[in-house]
Chains A and B, each alone.
Chain A
Amino acid sequence: MTLPKKATVFIVDDDELIRDSLEFLAKSVGLAVKTFSSAQAFLDSELPNTPCCLVSDIRMPGLSGLDLQDELVKRGITIPVIFITGHGTVPISVRAMKAGAVNFLQKPFEDQDLLDSIHHSIEQDRLSKIEQHKIKDIERRIKSLSLREHEILIFVAAGQLNKQIAFELGMSENTVKTHRFRIMRKMEVKTLADLVRATEKANEKT
């Protein structure tokens, strides 16, 4: 379960010069860059499974940077957002940060500030993507269990002994043991602790 290393920076700005200069800046530190001239164009694009972050202007014709941020939250897309603006005001920056923006930079800014923000965002996104990947994996394994196995998993995760489970479900202790062995194999875990942790992770998500 390895993720592609190449991280992508998405840049949304209506000013071509700014867009182009930011692209150069990001490329100069080895990042992949995709630029968009409007918020809508970005929303219409396909997002990769690789770690990424969004650098967006606030004041733009059509959807503003803040509108874009709202729309992403609404669609359940979790991508770190960095805002850059020529005339930021305190209320706007507060609103942006409350909605989960990573940073809010005033033009002209120190390139290192932006690059640090980008790196930080990408790392954050990478971790969150790994986490998501793990959860999806566990969910896939849980789905591969039979109905009976799933039933027994719930008892096992709740800390019940084989004897108790056998009594509860009206089956022999040996049958429970056989099911448990199969569950461990299907869930790709070696110890009971790993099994409990995996089921908890899956539960957290739902």
Chain B
Amino acid sequence: MMDQNLKKLAVKALSGLENKYVIHYIDSYTKQDLLLKVAHLPKDSAIFFISLFRDVSGQSFVPRDVMAEVSQKANSPVFSMVDTYLGYGTVGGALLSASYQGKKYAEMVVKILAGESLANLQYTDKGNQLMFDWQQLKRCSIDESRLPIGSIVRYRKLSTWEEHQWKIVGVSIIIVMQALAMIGLLIQHKRRRRAEEEAQKLRDERAHISRVLAMGEIAASLAHEINQPLSAIRSYAQAAQRFLKNDPAEASKALSGIITGNRRAEEVIKRIRMSLKKEPFKQTRIQLKGLVEEVIELATSKAQEQNISLKSELILDFPATFGDRIQLQQVLFNLILNAIEAITDKNNTHAEVVVLALQENTQFITLSIRDTGMGIDEQKANSLFDAFYTTKAEGLGIGLSISRSIIEDHSGRLWATNNDDIGSTFSFTIPICEDDKK
């Protein structure tokens, strides 16, 4: 049931618009019928909801709630009169705002109380404001640009971006920064690894250089120590030759000097041997494959530098051997380096050094290092293992000599042969561990 006074006002306000619009006053329906009616309004209809306190069946309502229901069911936009309906389904319009009017009147009262003449206070502002519900505008596809200037749009639903702008920005920044940090760390890691590799290379080179320098130093001092008695022996001998003619007693004394000098030279050599064997001999069980692999790993860079292929052809199930792991590795390393240095033809694509193992009997395993180098001069083969004999420009000639003494300490044998086709093979035997003898 519509407020009849209001209806009269509405009829009066709408008079003159009948020829432009078809106007229906829906005031004698039950609520159910009303809801049904609004759902099926013709195209281009608009509902102007004034109020509904009671329907024809006599049921009472809160008008605002009815309007909400109407708005929900209606196929057309719902307009209304007062701002308190905004947000309950009305699109909006020039709404009467009680709070706005109240404020205006209160301001007038304050002015009157202050003694202002009533005649001066012309109240013209009706207190209606153009207010719209953003969600209803969207629902009825009314474009905001079509609203009169000065309209207030309420209940604007913010987009995710508008609503959470700062959160999104914040989270994005964090994600980007984390990503940057990760990239930074990755780059740093890579750089560090490269730096470490370079440092390792430098260390290796330095170790090599210092070893060579130390060897040079030792060799120089050895040369002097052996030179002294040699020089003395020569002088004694020449003196003795002269004395022999007329003073045999003096000649004999000079000859004794030769023996003394000789003994001193021997002592120097004995000292060299001792110092070369300074490391105590530590015998352990050794799995040959692991030992060979470690040495090959050490020598690989050297081989690669020279474009030489270095590989081992070892089968798995050899019995364990027995000896000083470090000394045996030293021997193997030395033989592999010699093999690499023996290959002087750098352009040979078949240049290779192969480490082979062979079990010939129950006592020993033979390890061989085969190269495709220049081979051994048969006439010099006997001198190969002598101390200070070298065919290399910068060699000291002690590598093979030391290697052989190490192998002999292991009750093994070290020898060299020329291959049938090209290059030479250096082989040595290592005893098999007692427990593993088959």
Q: Let me know if A109 and B231 touch, CB within 8 A.
A: yes
Contact A27 B250 (CB under 8 A): yes
Segment among B96-104, B236-244, B319-327, B418-426 that sits at the interface with chain A: B236-244
Question: Are B229 and A17 neighbours in the complex by a CB distance under 8 Å?
Answer: yes
Known A18-B232, A111-B234; contact A28-B239, beta-carbon cutoff 8 A: yes
Q: Are A29 and B231 in contact (CB under 8 A)?
A: no
A87 touches B (CB below 8 Å): yes
B224 touches A86 (CB 8 A): yes
Contact partners of B257 in chain A: CB under 8 A: 17, 20-21, 24
Question: For A24, what are the chain B residues with a Cβ–Cβ distance below 8 Å?
Answer: 235-236, 239-240, 243, 250, 253-254, 257
User: Which A residue sits closest to B225, measured CB to CB?
Assistant: A86
In the assembled complex, the Cα of A51 lies from the Cα of B224 at a distance in Å of 33
A1-45 Cβ-contact flags toward B at 8 Å (1 or 0): 000000000000001011011101101110000000000000000
Closest CB of chain A to B383's CB: distance in Å?
Answer: 23
Report B-chain residues with C-beta under 8 Å of the C-beta of A27. 239, 250
Chain A CB within 8 A of B260 CB: yes
Binding site for A on B (CB under 8 A): 220, 224, 227-236, 238-243, 250, 253-254, 257, 260-261, 264
Which residue from A25, A28, A87, A108 sits with its C-beta under 8 Å from B230? A108
Residue with the highest number of chain B CB atoms closer than 10 Å, among A17, A20, A29, A111: A17
Interfacial chain A residues near B231, Cβ < 8 Å: 18, 21, 86, 107-109
Q: Check if B239 sits within 8 Å of A25, measured CB to CB.
A: yes
Interfacial residues, chain A to chain B (CB-CB below 8 A):
15, 17-18, 20-22, 24-25, 27-29, 86-87, 107-109, 111
**In the bound complex, what is the Cα–Cα distance between A24 and B257 (angstroms)?**
9
Q: Check if A21 sits within 8 Å of B224, measured CB to CB.
A: no
* Closest A residue, CB atoms, query B263: A17
CA distance A43 to B252 in the complex (A): 32
Determine chain B's interface SS by DSSP, over half rule: helix
A-B residue pair count with CB separations less than 8 angstroms: 69
**Contact at A21–B243, with CB atoms within 8 Å?**
no
In the assembled complex, which residues on chain A have CB atoms less than 8 Å from the CB atom of B241?
28
Contact A107:B227 (CB < 8 A) given known A21-B236, A28-B238, A28-B242: yes
Among B220, B227, B239, B250, point to the contact of A21 (Cβ < 8 A).
B239
Q: Which B residues are in CB contact (< 8 Å) with A108?
A: 227, 230-231, 234
Find A107's partner among B228, B238, B250 (CB 8 Å cutoff). B228
The reply to whether A28 and B243 form a contact with Cβ atoms under 8 Å apart is yes
Q: Pick the contact of A20 from B232, B243, B250 — CB < 8 Å?
A: B232
- Asked if B230 and A21 sit within 8 Å, CB to CB, the answer is no
> How far in angstroms is the closest Cβ of chain A from B28?
134
A196 CB, min distance to chain B CBs, angstroms? 49
Selected from A17, A28, A86, A107, the residue in CB contact (under 8 A) with B264 is A17
> Looking at B234, B250, B260, which has the most chain A CB atoms within 10 Å of its CB?
B234
User: What are 5 pairs between A and B in contact, CB < 8 Å?
Assistant: A17-B232, A24-B236, A28-B241, A107-B228, A108-B227
Is B228 a contact partner of A111 (Cβ separation < 8 A)? no
Q: In the complex the two chains form, is A21's CB within 8 Å of B235's CB?
A: yes
- Do B235 and A22 touch across chains, with their CB atoms under 8 A apart? yes
Contact A111 B264 (CB under 8 A): no
Chain B residues contacting A25 (CB-CB under 8 Å) are 235-236, 238-239
A134 to B232, CA, bound (A): 40
Distance, CA A18 to CA B257, complexed state (A): 10
**In the complex, are the beta carbons of B227 and A86 less than 8 A apart?**
yes
Cα–Cα, bound, A7→B239 (Å): 18
For B230, give the chain A residue with the smallest CB separation. A108
CA distance A17 to B241 in the complex (A): 18
Task: For the complex, give the distance between the alpha carbons of A21 and B255 in Å.
Answer: 10
A39 to chain B, nearest CB (A): 18
Contacts of A87 in B (CB 8 A): 220, 224
- 6 further contact pairs, Cβ within 8 A, besides A18-B232, A20-B232, A24-B236: A15-B228, A21-B257, A24-B254, A25-B238, A86-B228, A107-B228
Contacts of B261 in A (CB 8 A): 17, 21
**Among B238, B241, B260: residue with most chain A CB under 10 A:** B238
Which residues of chain A come closer than 8 Å to B253, judged between CB atoms? 24
Chain A residues with CB under 8 A of B260:
17
Q: Once bound together, how far apart are the Cα atoms of A47 and B337, in whole Å?
A: 61
Bound CA span A87–B225, Å = 11
Complex Cα–Cα for A15 and B257 (A)? 13
A28 proximity list for chain B (CB < 8 A): 238-243, 250, 254
Of chain A, the residue at the smallest CB distance from B241 is A28
The reply to whether A18 and B228 contact each other, CB–CB distance below 8 Å, is: yes
- State the Cβ distance, B230 to closest chain A Cβ, in Å: 5
Distance A112 CA – B411 CA, assembled complex (angstroms): 49
Residue of A nearest to B236 (CB): A21
Q: Contact between A17 and B250 (Cβ–Cβ < 8 Å)? A: no
* A-B residue pairs, 6 tightest by C-beta: A21-B235, A24-B239, A28-B242, A108-B231, A111-B238, A107-B231
B184 to chain A, nearest CB (A): 57
Cα of A62 to Cα of B331 in the assembled complex, Å: 43
